[in-house]
Structure 1
Amino acid sequence: MNRIRNLFANKDDRRILSIYFTAGYPALDSTLAIAEALENAGADFLEIGFPYSDPVADGPVIQHSSEMALRNGMTLDVLFGQLKDLRKRVDIPVLLMGYVNPVLQYGVENFCKACAEVGVDGVIVPDLPMYEYEAHYQSVFEKHGLSNIFLVTPQTSEERIRKIDGLSTGFIYLLSSSATTGKNLAVSETSESYFSRIRAMALENPTVIGFGISNHETFVHATDHADGAIVGSAFVQLLGEPDYHTKITSFIRQLKGKTDGL
Structure 2
Amino acid sequence: MNKNIAAAFGKGKAFIPFVTCGDPSLDVTEQIVYAMEEAGADLIELGIPFSDPTAEGPVIQAANVRALGGGVTTDKVFDMVVRIRKKTRIPMVFMTYANVVFSYGTERFIKKASEVGMDGLILPDVPFEEKEEFDSVCKAYGIDLISLIAPTSHERIAMIAKEAEGFVYCVSSLGVTGTRSQITTDIGAMVQLVKAEKQIPCAVGFGISTPQQAAKMAEQSDGAIVGSAIVKLCARYGKDCVPYVKEYVKSMKDAVRNV
TM value normalised by structure 1: 0.90
Contact conserved, 2:161 with 2:194, CA < 8 A, in 1?
no
> Residues 24 and 99 of structure 1: is their aligned pair in 2 closer, same or farther, counting only changes over 3 Å?
same
One-letter code of the match for 2:3?
N
> Residues 217 and 6 of structure 1: is their aligned pair in 2 closer, same or farther, counting only changes over 3 Å?
same
Look up the match of 2:217. Answer: 222
Pairing of 1:58-207 with structure 2 (within 5 A): 58-134=56-132, 136-158=133-155, 160-184=156-180, 186-188=182-184, 191-192=185-186, 194-202=187-195, 203-207=198-202
User: Structure 1 CA distance, aligned partners of 2:190 and 2:143?
Assistant: 28
Render the CA deviation track for 1:157-189: whole Å, top value 9, x for unaligned: 23x22222222220000000121111316343x
User: Structure 2 CA distance, aligned partners of 1:201 and 1:49?
Assistant: 25
C-alpha root-mean-square deviation of aligned residues, in Å? 1.8
User: Structure 2 CA distance, aligned partners of 1:18 and 1:205?
Assistant: 16
User: Structure 1 CA distance, aligned partners of 2:248 and 2:202?
Assistant: 23
Look up the match of 1:44. Answer: 42
Look up the match of 2:232. Answer: 237
Secondary structure in structure 1 of the residue aligned to 2:46: strand
User: Structure 1 CA distance, aligned partners of 2:131 and 2:15?
Assistant: 27
Contact conserved, 2:223 with 2:256, CA < 8 A, in 1?
no
Contact conserved, 2:45 with 2:95, CA < 8 A, in 1?
yes
Contact conserved, 1:222 with 1:229, CA < 8 A, in 2?
yes
Secondary structure in structure 2 of the residue aligned to 1:102: helix
> Residues 241 and 197 of structure 1: is their aligned pair in 2 closer, same or farther, counting only changes over 3 Å?
closer
One-letter code of the match for 1:180?
V
Render the CA deviation track for 1:17-45: whole Å, top value 9, x for unaligned: 00001001111432222111110111111
CA shift, 1:201, in A, is: 4.8
Identity over the aligned pairs, expressed in percent?
A: 37
Secondary structure in structure 1 of the residue aligned to 2:94: strand
The total of aligned residue pairs comes to 254
Look up the match of 1:249. Answer: 246
Give unmatched runs, 5+ long, in structure 1.
Answer: none
